[in-house]
Amino acid sequence: MKHQFFSSIAKYAIRAPSGKKQLGFEAFHAQDWKTAAIEFDEALRNGESDRNIWLSAASAHERMGSHDVAATYTSLANRLHPSTCYDSAAAFGVYAAAPVERDTIATFLTEHAAELSTSAELACLQAKERTTAARAFVYWDTDNRPDIVRQCIESMHKFAPEDLEVVELNAATIKDWVTIDESLLAGIENPAHRSDVIRLNLLSTHGGLWLDATCLLNPGFPFLYDQINRENFFLYTYRGSRTGNWFFWAQPDSYRLQLLRAALHLWLESGRPWSNYFMFHDIVEMLYWTDARYRNDWDTGLYLHPREALEMNKSLGRRLADHEWFDIRRRSPVNKLTWKFDQSKLGDPTTGVARLVSEAARGQ
């Protein structure tokens, strides 16, 4: 499945590419980024210029780590061959990564705009007829949880407000809460991407809060919950409409939520595979540039950057003085951590991860 997206780019490129351009697409399909970059560069020098080749060349160079070249090629694509579907110069001005992948998504969203909008509006109307309770969903495939995951889930039960029910889910119990067409999940190999589909369908059905299992809550969480509870959709935002989805709040009658669900489902139902690790985030972002109602709702919604929520994770491998740990530990009402860390760091009691594990052992 991982090669299908790249072959689809070649399929929908300007028809009958020849010479170096064709070799570039073949190498891109094989994920041979170096060869693709060389062949695309040669094709461009030979005058074979269109939007798709510039952006494909940009993505190939980006995959090789040549970010300056990728940024230049993306800029040239938008200058020489601007998109007729959306304001591509503005979109890539906010965030420049994965150019051909995101452009393909934006084009898809524009081509199916009327269908997606109608689907979302109908889902919003149906959601208004349902009664939902305030719930926070946390998911881990099995009952075999790493220590940090156990500590995070314990913090959810400890610091969630009384009116917010914490619901623990796994691969066996998720079916009690939401029905997902298995065909949507069949071609998704990465557990993180399967989780993206699960969280979107859970919130579309029940509304509430999705917390990644590595979210550690603090005593100040009820204040944050009070803020987001006034919104019908909330994701921490890095820049523009570029977000994370590890902390995801939505009401089931949110247009943004239902449009996002409709877009992801239609993408998968049409046989298109997951294009890159952050494809879910790409769809969240590119809907902003292709749907006016979604953009207006976004611009009038709550904006919070997760800067402080990410500080603890950056500190897990560092040696910290007591006062530094105390400050980092309580700086944010929610902390996004990882359960994957260098085990050798546990041998030094002053590292962030050793301090965290020690707290868990003491029941803090």
- Write out pLDDT tens, residues 120-150: 999 999 998 877 789 999 999 888 888 889 9
The number of C-alpha atoms within 13 Å of 307 and in the hemisphere containing its C-beta is 4
Considering only CA atoms, give the Rg of the chain.
22
Rounded CA-CA distance 318/27 in Å is 41
Tokens representing 86? Answer: 């959306």
The Cα angle at residue 175 between residues 171 and 180, in degrees rounded to 5: 100
Tokens representing 87? Answer: 């304001």
Please say whether the beta carbons of 70 and 55 come within 8 A: no
- Write out pLDDT tens, residues 238-252: 999 999 999 999 999
Rounded CA-CA distance 269/66 in Å is 34
Rounded CA-CA distance 46/21 in Å is 10
Q: Which pLDDT value is given to residue 184? A: 85
The model's pTM is 0.90
CATH numbers and ranges of domains, the chain: 4-82 (1.25.40.10), 113-299 (3.90.550), 308-361 (no CATH)
Q: What are phi and psi of 225, to 5 degrees?
A: -60, -40
Query: Of 99-108, 124-133, 271-280, where does mean pLDDT reach its minimum?
Result: 124-133
Please say whether the beta carbons of 156 and 333 come within 8 A: no
Tokens representing 117? Answer: 């909008």
Rounded CA-CA distance 16/10 in Å is 10
Q: How confident is the model at residue 3 (pLDDT cuts 50, 70, 90)?
A: very low
Q: Which pLDDT value is given to residue 147? A: 86
- Write out pLDDT tens, residues 140-189: 988 888 888 999 999 999 999 999 999 999 989 999 999 988 888 887 88
Tokens representing 56? Answer: 């494909």
Q: Which residues pair with 334 in a beta bridge?
A: 217
